[in-house]
């Protein structure tokens, strides 16, 4: 390791293959980065994958692969019969009786090099019997569709997910509030619309990569690029029959996640292989093509909406039917369906609601966590329907939004009372930034100009008992070491946690160190780094730990000075007394405590603060009505708007300017909040304009950056104004709520509304130049 540190070699688990990065100066021998980290015993794994979307496995012959020199392990589904899954245990590590999507793991090889492992895959012979695939969620939910999971009724499932055995519906979340049928005749205007939202990929810069080692005693260590080290420890251990105490997950910094590195996707594969090669580490790194369709993708959605209002623009009723294309496994996706269900009205106050949110098995890639967790998809429909309804009754669209958005005290679709929110202020700031109500002239005769605005909300989508913990140690020099289990994935959570610890403890921020990497053997527990929950949940734990450590310090000093702890404070790392005006630096307390006067003994000792947090107030919801006291912990709300131009000759969409405003409760670090708003805006814009997995017959036809377009710096508009609104959250640290996912939620709807304002046509995303041009052609806007 000394050589690696001296030459600053990157963390080798993120590298694609063994590389000659440095040369040993004395012998001239090549040194491989993988060898430096894991030694020459490292094995490289590759995976045999299904070429069919749906088929029975009749026979697997691995004999030729096992005989290939350099191959050390070959495994199939016969070796690992257990099911795995976060909310619904519906998949195997390797397919057993059947395959359910193109790219599903069927077998795996570990060899002394990736090249040999690839050759071995070609020697594995698999005999399939193709079955009729399910490639549409609406059809998949019908009684006529073949069953993707005939054994659905036998799977283990958490108590807030409601599968329908004998169907392809793995979760059916319902809301029944008021009487929608009685409300329709009272409506002055009704809009009915169906939108189709495509699958998209997370495309992190760093692909999935993991290394696993099982020692001779059976203890497992997994190094993984992970948002969920503790969840991975728990799920993999259960599936493979390992005690959680015998499994350790180490998670260095993550090179991009956006949800795809949450839960368990490919990480169980190297662990399974390593069980057959004890003492040898096994590395699996996905290729870019594998990254596109063999792990989590954002689910597709078909959303059917019917919304009505009275003559004054007051919303009266909504019927929302959502068919989520959950793919071949919905072990994580069922909770997206649930989140879509309890948030199905969008941030609107609607007295009569009927929601059916269904997660449907198909033979598409597996749908999982993606930034926004279903909210971008459902808001794409809701935001455009509300825009259309406002136009239908002749009301200004901004005024329509402000009239109908939720406010503190409103009773939501689930029966929960809404907490205070600054969503109206968000709308006003975006409208003002776009000069709403002032029609700007196009920049050229062949251009059409439009403006659009949309609102959003999102709650942390998680189990009701997802917990956080933190430990803070006071060091000899007065500095703090903060131990946490949440992951840094570029969102700045380590910085925010350091700020919270410093602010509560009363020390300069540069006195705080965050312990890392995250290691389940030493780091305190954290459920997952998902749901935009760390600032709120883990932040509460850090605040509690800092208060604990602070109280210990003040108690020790008060005893030494014979004073009341209430008269003491810690200011810039120094304990001060407002009564006696004495002071003492934390550097003098540290580990060793305080010497009593007259050298009669010592007071204190090592200071270790502990804190934890778990919301205890989230209640269950009735499975038939979706009603309950508190469906979620809270909602973050916001608004976003665009001004665009469309070229009539090409259909090209150009964003002239944009604005985003979000109520974050309290911005712990305003610069980081703005960075999240800007980053989420670009990702939302990218998914709205460019991104779509082209799935034909269950196979992705564009699994590369040649054919799968994402936004780049060149696509960012010249003007994007960001606004931070702060209406404090009662259960957040200093009133803070999360903001990581929310900025991309309203983007599709806001852009869709701007496009409609320009060309008077409603479209499904992505809003490509070709799609816009053909729509203008059909509408007679061009010849």
Catalytic positions, please? 741
Q: Is the dihedral of CA 346, 292, 257, 529 positive or negative?
A: positive
Cα–Cα distance for residue pair 545/533, rounded to 1 Å: 18
Q: Give alpha helix (H) positions in 584-717.
A: 670-689
Q: What are phi and psi of 223, to 5 degrees?
A: -100, 125
Cα–Cα distance for residue pair 15/79, rounded to 1 Å: 29
Q: What are phi and psi of 659, to 5 degrees?
A: -145, 145
- Residue pointed to by tokens 């804190």: 611
| Rg of the chain, C-alpha, whole Å | 28
The SS3 assignment for 573 reads: coil
Residues 6+ apart with CB under 8 A from 627: 175, 176, 177, 414, 415, 621
- Which class for 683: exposed (0-12), middle (13-18), buried (19 or more C-beta within 10 A)? buried
Residues 6+ apart with CB under 8 A from 570: 505, 506, 507, 550, 553, 554, 576, 586
Residue 220 corresponds to which tokens in the numbers above?
């497992």
Q: Would you call the peptide bond into 517 cis, given omega within 30 degrees of 0 as the criterion?
A: yes
657-659-665 Cα angle (round to 5) = 165
Q: What's 243's DSSP letter?
A: -
Residue 738 corresponds to which tokens in the numbers above?
């999360």
Q: Give alpha helix (H) positions in 243-374.
A: 268-274, 288-293, 333-342
Residues 6+ apart with CB under 8 A from 783: none
Cα–Cα distance for residue pair 566/556, rounded to 1 Å: 12
Cα–Cα distance for residue pair 220/233, rounded to 1 Å: 10
Cα–Cα distance for residue pair 431/422, rounded to 1 Å: 15
The SS3 assignment for 242 reads: coil
Cα–Cα distance for residue pair 185/202, rounded to 1 Å: 44
Angle between helices 670-689 and 747-759 (to 10 degrees): 50
Q: Are 602 and 559 contacting, i.e. CB atoms less than 8 angstroms apart?
A: no
Within a 13 Å sphere around the CA of 495, how many CA atoms are in the beta-carbon half? 11
| E runs forming strands in 590-742 | 594-595, 602-603, 608-613, 636-647, 653-663, 695-696, 699-700, 720-725
Q: Are 553 and 478 contacting, i.e. CB atoms less than 8 angstroms apart?
A: no
């Amino acid at each position: 390791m000394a050589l690696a540190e001296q030459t600053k070699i990157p963390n080798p688990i993120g590298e694609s293959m063994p590389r000659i990065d440095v040369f040993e100066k004395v012998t001239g021998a090549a040194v491989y980065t993988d060898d430096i980290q894991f030694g020459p015993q490292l094995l490289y794994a590759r995976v045999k994958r299904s070429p069919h979307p749906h088929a029975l496995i009749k026979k697997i012959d691995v004999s030729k692969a096992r005989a290939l020199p350099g191959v050390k392990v070959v495994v199939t589904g016969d070796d690992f019969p257990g099911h795995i899954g976060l909310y619904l245990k519906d998949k195997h590590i390797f397919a057993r009786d059947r395959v359910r999507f193109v790219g599903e793991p069927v077998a795996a090889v570990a060899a002394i090099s990736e090249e040999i492992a690839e050759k071995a895959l070609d020697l594995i012979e698999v005999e399939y019997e193709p079955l009729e695939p399910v490639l549409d969620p609406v059809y998949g939910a019908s009684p006529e569709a073949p069953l993707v999971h005939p054994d659905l009724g036998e799977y283990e499932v958490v108590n807030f997910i409601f599968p329908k055995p004998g169907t392809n519906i793995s979760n059916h979340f319902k809301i029944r509030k008021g009487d929608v049928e009685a409300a329709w005749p009272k409506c002055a205007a009704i809009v009915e619309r169906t939108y189709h939202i495509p699958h998209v990929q997370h495309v992190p810069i760093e692909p999935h990569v993991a290394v696993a080692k099982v020692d001779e005693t059976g203890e497992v260590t997994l190094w993984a690029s992970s948002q969920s080290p503790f969840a991975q420890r728990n799920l993999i251990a259960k599936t493979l029959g390992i005690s959680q105490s015998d499994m350790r997950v180490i998670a260095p910094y993550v090179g991009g996640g956006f949800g795809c590195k949450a839960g368990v996707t490919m990480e169980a594969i190297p662990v399974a292989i390593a069980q057959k090669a004890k003492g040898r580490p096994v590395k699996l790194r996905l290729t870019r093509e594998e990254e596109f369709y063999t792990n989590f993708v954002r689910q597709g959605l078909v959303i059917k909406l019917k919304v009505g209002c009275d003559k004054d623009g007051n919303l009266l009723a909504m019927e929302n039917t959502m068919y989520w294309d959950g793919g071949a496994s919905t072990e994580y996706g069922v909770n997206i369906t649930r989140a879509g269900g309890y948030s199905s009205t969008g941030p609107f106050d609607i007295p009569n609601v009927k929601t059916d949110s269904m997660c449907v098995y198909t033979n598409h890639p597996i749908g999982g966590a993606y930034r926004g967790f279903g909210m971008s998809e459902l808001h794409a429909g809701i935001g455009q329907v509300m825009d259309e309804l406002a136009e239908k009754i002749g009301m200004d669209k901004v005024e329509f939004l402000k009239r109908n958005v939720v406010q503190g005290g409103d009773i939501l679709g689930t029966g929960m009372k809404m907490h205070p929110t600054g969503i109206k202020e968000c709308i006003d700031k975006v409208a003002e930034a776009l000069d709403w109500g002032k029609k700007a002239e196009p920049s050229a005769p062949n251009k059409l100009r439009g403006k659009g605005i949309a609102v959003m909300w999102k709650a942390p989508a998680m189990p009701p008992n997802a917990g956080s913990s933190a430990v803070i140690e006071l060091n000899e020099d007065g500095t703090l070491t903060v131990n946490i289990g949440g992951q840094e994935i570029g969102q700045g959570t380590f910085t925010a946690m350091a700020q919270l610890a410093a602010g509560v403890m009363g020390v300069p921020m540069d006195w705080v160190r965050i312990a890392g990497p995250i290691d389940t053997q030493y780091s305190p527990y954290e459920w997952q780094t998902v749901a935009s929950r760390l600032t709120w949940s883990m932040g509460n734990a850090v605040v509690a730990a800092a208060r604990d450590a602070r109280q210990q310090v003040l108690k020790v000093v008060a005893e030494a000075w014979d004073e009341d702890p209430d008269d003491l404070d810690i200011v810039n790392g120094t304990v001060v007394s407002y009564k006696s005006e004495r002071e003492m630096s934390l550097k003098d307390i540290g580990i060793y405590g305080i010497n009593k006067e007259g050298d009669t003994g010592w007071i204190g000792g090592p200071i270790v603060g502990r804190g934890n947090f778990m919301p205890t107030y989230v209640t269950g919801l009735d499975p038939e009505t979706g009603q309950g006291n508190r469906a979620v912990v809270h909602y973050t709300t916001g608004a976003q708007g665009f001004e665009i131009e469309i070229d009539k000759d090409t259909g090209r969409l150009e964003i002239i300017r944009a604005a985003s405003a979000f109520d974050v409760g309290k911005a712990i670090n305003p610069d980081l909040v703005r960075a999240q708003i800007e980053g989420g805006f670009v990702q939302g814009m990218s998914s709205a304009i460019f991104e779509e997995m082209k799935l034909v017959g269950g196979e992705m036809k564009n699994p590369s950056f040649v054919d799968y377009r994402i936004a780049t710096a060149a696509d960012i508009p010249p003007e994007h104004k960001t606004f931070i609104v702060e209406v404090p959250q009662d259960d957040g640290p200093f009133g803070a709520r999360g903001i990581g996912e929310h900025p991309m939620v309203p983007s599709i709807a806001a852009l869709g509304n701007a496009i409609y304002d320009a060309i008077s046509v409603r479209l499904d995303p992505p809003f490509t130049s070709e799609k816009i041009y053909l729509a203008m052609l059909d509408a007679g806007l061009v010849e």
